[in-house]
Structure 1
Amino acid sequence: MDYHKLCLDLFGTDDVNELERIARAYREKNPRKAGRKKKFTAEDVQAIRSLLENGMTMKQVAERYQTSRQIIGKYLNEKPAKGYTLRITYMYQQYPCTIIDVDFLNQRVMARNKTKDVLHRAFGVTEAPTWDDFEAFLRDRCFPATRGNVKDLLKQLQLTSYDPLQIAEKTRGRTAEDDMWLKFSYYPMEGETYGQDQS
């Protein structure tokens, strides 16, 4: 094979220095710094949040902004702050009402409401819930510990003890009293691999 001719045909040159430059450019990741630009500004994201809070569905918002629901979700659902390894989304039917980030190590919670309806908020009018508020919220999303057939219910859920978090995970926090439910997403501590997302 005539490599001299091949270089001329493929690269338009047989100069060694020029061929090395071409090879370096090929190996360099994204040499022109090209790529998808950020689609939404902070103002856009705030406007999208307002539309959702006022009753528009994710599908309707995506159609308005001529994008997909996944892209909208990517901008709205940033990762929790450092130390927070669980995110619980308090849902009403298909609408997210409150985002709850949980730091088990320091027993902290952060809540962000996505609705103006206090009856559909996880902590009602409370904007900065405490750890006690969080534990009470979980208990409210479970069958009571004093229920007569609690042992049978735990057995059905394959649990050995009454743990409101584990019960809520198994039942998605559904109760007979309302149409609210819980969505759980786990995030690793820094340096660890990602856990599971229960949609």
Structure 2
Amino acid sequence: MAEAYDGDGRLVSRVPLADGRPHGRFECFHPDGSLRLDAEYEHGELAGLLRAYAADGSLEYEAHYAGGRLHGISATYRNGRLETRQLYADGQLAGESVCYAPSGDVTARCVYRQGRLEEEAVYAHEGAVVRRSRYRAGRLEGETREYGAGGTLAQSLPYRNGLLHGMARRFDPEGEVSAVRSYADGKPRGDWQAIAPADGEDGGAVPAGFAQRLERWLRG
């Protein structure tokens, strides 16, 4: 058994050893002695379920391992509520990944293949979809749609290989195109060109920053 103590003599961690390597239940503790981390080792590699706990005893993180790699369901919690749920295969994200608001509403849902985003990703705020994007090999590909209040389409953005490419469009509350802008390989080709009255340009769009923060989290 290998044990570690802090400067005040309190037990910090312990794990059985086999041939000098961790083998069996590994435990870490908070200063008050409560469990901080609970995991299993097999011949020096993480295997099975790992759980991490906050000082108040609430679950913060749980994940499954095989051969030292994440494999299976991984989830994070905040104040006891599920915050993210992801699937891994041999250490890489694989399958559906979901983010949740404290209310339990889904804020993001996407799909990974071999660690990279694929297919459609959907972002939401307070139960309403604010963005739909498509990915190929981890990069934006095709049309991204952003929505305003009431679910109306506010903006359509064309992507190719992760870069804006093509004609971007903004919509008024009635769903009509209000402005356009052309892009080539991520660079704008001129300014936005108004097609409808400016007061209808934004269509009540939800601020893009919310969806962008979620996207950065998903992309790691």
Please confirm whether the aligned pair reaches a TM-score higher than 0.5, indicating the same fold: no
Q: Quick check: which has more Rg, 1 or 2?
A: 1
The structure carrying a bigger helix percent of its residues is: 1
The structure carrying a bigger strand percent of its residues is: 2
Larger RCO (CA within 8 A; separation ≥ 6): 1
TM-score (norm 1): 0.30
